[in-house]
Structure 1
Amino acid sequence: MNEESPKAIFYALAANFGIAVCKFGAAAYTGSGSMFAEAIHSTADCGNQLLLLFGMKRAQQPANALHPLGSGREIYFYALIVALLLFFVGGAFSVYEGVHRMLHHEPLSNPVVALVILGISVVLEAFSLWGALREIRKGAPNKTLWRWFRETRESELLVVAGEDVAALAGLAIAFCAVLMTMLTGNPMWDAGGSIGVGVLLMVVAYVVAREVKSMIVGESASPEVRKAIDAHLRARPEILRIISLITLQWGKHVVVAVQAEMIDYASGRALIDAINIVEDDLQRTFPQVRWVFFEPDIARDKAQPEQMY
């Protein structure tokens, strides 16, 4: 897990706070439903970033008798809460606000002000997204954003990036809705923009929640880390054959369980010493590997395919 992830969260928190203040002022001044929906969205985002920071702090608690592997996966819980808030507070409320204004035909005043605020918001939101993308590129310089999204184990950075992408797209929808309302004089465009923003947020929240749920259930280390660990173990002279390799992402750490056929040793003590050497070397090479469970065994069926998870 990228140790720089909190930077992306602070970028997002600063940007969303400034955006929320501007949007609420513009919504009160213009009466724009799309602007008010965007203001609620930005306020929810501020709360979301605070929740992520709190979750990261909680995840640093040391291991104890109740949680022998520590609390690293607690950040996944808070990431899921953030996704739910994005769905209900941001998305569902925006849809409600849009439907309400559509039914009551509430007019829009001073749309130019709303457009200026939306333009400022785009700049601030782009700054937040730039911060998130910079941290993503540090850990995955050669991956597409979608591939990183599907393979990353950094739930907090995934949530921030998802929020930022949704926010920029939502701003584009709101800008178009206000502009069409100004050009046509029809407030239904503004109401429809609010509904569009809400639907967009709910879709993004669902996709983010699905990824975080998979982490909560228990995901292996990322594919490149898993393959690198497998290659490292196969290259060890002490190991004759890897029978099974299981990795489990535990917050920013990784749990590794290995079942391997070892070369012949003169005594049980010599075998134990060899296993300790392999474990120490693995943890030096991969600092994120906090726990290693190594089981020496003999392959019962040579034709049986080796397993790696």
Structure 2
Amino acid sequence: MPGSKLPIYTAFAANLAIAVIKLTAAAITGSSAMVSEGIHSLVDSSNEVLLLIGLHKSKKAPDQKRPFGYGKELYFWSFVVALLFFVLGGTMSVYEGIRHLIEPEKITSPVWNYIVLSLALVFDGYSLYTAVRIFNQQRGSTPFWQAIKVSKDPSSFVVLFEDMADVIGILIAATGIILSHIFNNPYIDGIASILIGLLLMLVTIFLVRQSRNLLMGESISAEELNKLVPLIEHNQNVSSADARLSMYLGPEEVILLIKIKFKNDLPSQKIVESIGSIRQAIQAEHPDYKHIHFEPV
């Protein structure tokens, strides 16, 4: 279901608990990669809060100031989340790694790191499982990466990519800590921290691109728009139709402008009745087309 909050709640609970555990372990062991992972989890927790704010604000009813509603609030807040992912997650992790390379500090009590990373992998793995399960329900038979590309619901794909980055980041941190301990080389831990930061930056590039496209106003696919024309022209009073202007206002809210050429000498009452009939036919197949406007030509 678009706009499902379950993955967000699951990710928030997991990330908040893990952040506390990771940062506590980092203070005990002195691991740079663990600090990066702790920062990563804190950023993820704040991101989930922002997504929930976006979902709440996007449900606000239209008013005089926003006659088409507040659906794009979700797109705005998902864009903010992507920026925070870069600024607070990526850059701080890279900074922490560079600082550790300049002033290397040997890891003490690595067992704590192993315990924490194992717990984090369980929690984040479950959160990722939840996000993937919900996303699979939404995409249906659409191939996974195509569904990601065309998704208009940032509350699903943002959490999904956050959780993926979480799991991969944990594996990088674990590898860095293990190798640093085996070879007694603190520089490896710093390199792992930098790699985690670069991972977050790569995820950010995708999230910013997706969120920007939605915020700027994406159209319905050309294939879907082309299917509307026969549906409109099926009306006996329509001579031809053109439906090329559309925009997503939210995951389940579309504005559509249709240009229609009615048959000659058609009474105005018939035109009004035809427009009403066409609107009902379109919304019966596409209930997310909330705002349909007609321009007789």
Q: TM-score by structure 2 length?
A: 0.93
Q: Which residue of 1 aligns with 2:85?
A: 86
Match of 2:152, SS? Answer: coil
For residues 5 and 236 of structure 2, what CA distance do their matches in structure 1 show? Answer: 40
The CA distance in 1 between the partners of 2:50 and 2:26, in whole Å, is: 26
1:275 aligns with 2:275: yes
Give the distance between the partners of 1:225 and 1:138, measured in 2 at CA. Answer: 21
Unaligned runs of 5+ residues in structure 2 are none
User: Counterpart of 2:132?
Assistant: 133
Q: How far apart are the structure 2 equivalents of 1:238 and 1:208? A: 45
Q: Which residue of 1 aligns with 2:63?
A: 64
Are the equivalent residues in 2 in contact too, given 1:30–1:109 (CA < 8 A)?
A: yes
1:140–1:66 Cα change, 3 Å = same
- Asked if 2 retains the 8 angstrom alpha-carbon contact of 1:166 and 1:200, the reply is yes
CA contact (8 A) 2:79 2:208 kept: yes
What amino acid maps onto 1:255 in structure 2?
I
Instruction: From the superposition, tell whether residues 93 and 230 of structure 1 become closer, same or farther in structure 2 (CA, over 3 Å).
Output: farther
Q: Which whole-Å CA distance do the structure 1 matches of 2:31 and 2:223 have between them? A: 47
For the 8 Å contact 1:258–1:294, the answer to whether it is kept is yes
TM-superposed CA distance for 1:280, in Å, is 2.1
Question: Percent sequence identity over matched residues?
Answer: 29
1: CA distance, partners of 2:221 / 2:166: 27
Give the structure 2 partner of residue 196 of structure 1.
195
Report the alpha carbon displacement of residue 228 of structure 1 after superposing the two structures with TM: 5.2
Q: 1:256 to 1:24 in 2, by over 3 A?
A: same
Equivalent residue number for residue 101 of structure 1? 100
In structure 1, C-alpha distance between the alignment counterparts of 2:6 and 2:178, rounded to whole Å = 34
What's the CA shift string for 1:203-253, capped at 9, x where partnerless? 101210111001111101356754554554354444332223322111131
Go from structure 1 to structure 2 and tell me whether the alpha carbon gap of 1:75 and 1:4 turns closer, same or farther (over 3 Å shift): closer
Residues 1:225 and 1:21: Cα distance change in structure 2 (over 3 Å): farther
Matching of residues 1-309 of structure 1 within 5 Å: 2-221=1-220, 226=225, 229-230=228-229, 232-251=231-250, 252-264=252-264, 266-297=266-297
Amino acid paired to 2:17: G
> 1:108-142: per-residue Cα shift (whole Å, max 9, x none)?
11222212211221121111111111221122122
Query: How far does residue 82 in structure 1 lie from its aligned partner after superposition?
Result: 0.6
- 1:152–1:222 Cα contact (<8 Å) kept: no
Any idea what SS the aligned residue of 1:5 has? Answer: coil
SS in 1 for 2:8: helix
Change (3 A) 1:23 1:224: farther
In structure 2, do the counterparts of structure 1 residues 112 and 231 end up closer, same or farther at CA, with 3 Å as the change threshold?
farther
Secondary structure at the counterpart of residue 290 of structure 2: strand
Structure 1 residue 284: Cα displacement:
3.0
Query: For residues 128 and 239 of structure 2, what CA distance do their matches in structure 1 show?
Result: 47
Q: Contact (CA 8 Å) 1:265, 1:271: kept in 2 or not? A: no
Q: Quote the Cα distance in structure 1 between the aligned partners of 2:187 and 2:278.
A: 67
Q: Contact between 1:220 and 1:226, CA under 8 Å: does it hold in 2?
A: no
In structure 2, relative to structure 1, the CA distance for the partners of 1:231 and 1:84 (3 Å cut) is farther
- CA–CA distance in structure 1, aligned partners of residues 122 and 15 of structure 2: 11
The 3-state SS of whatever aligns with 1:70 is coil
Measure, in 1, the Cα distance between the counterparts of 2:174 and 2:165: 14
Closer, same or farther: CA 207–290 of 1 in aligned 2, 3 Å: same
Kept after mapping to 2: 8 A contact 1:34/1:194: yes
Q: Give, in whole Å, the separation in 2 of the partners of 1:166 and 1:13.
A: 15
CA RMSD of aligned residues (A): 1.8
Counterpart residue type for residue 55 of structure 2: M
Q: In 1, are the aligned partners of 2:10 and 2:130 still within 8 Å (CA)?
A: yes
Alignment TM-score, normalising by the size of structure 1: 0.90
Q: Secondary structure at the match of 1:189?
A: helix
Number of equivalences: 296
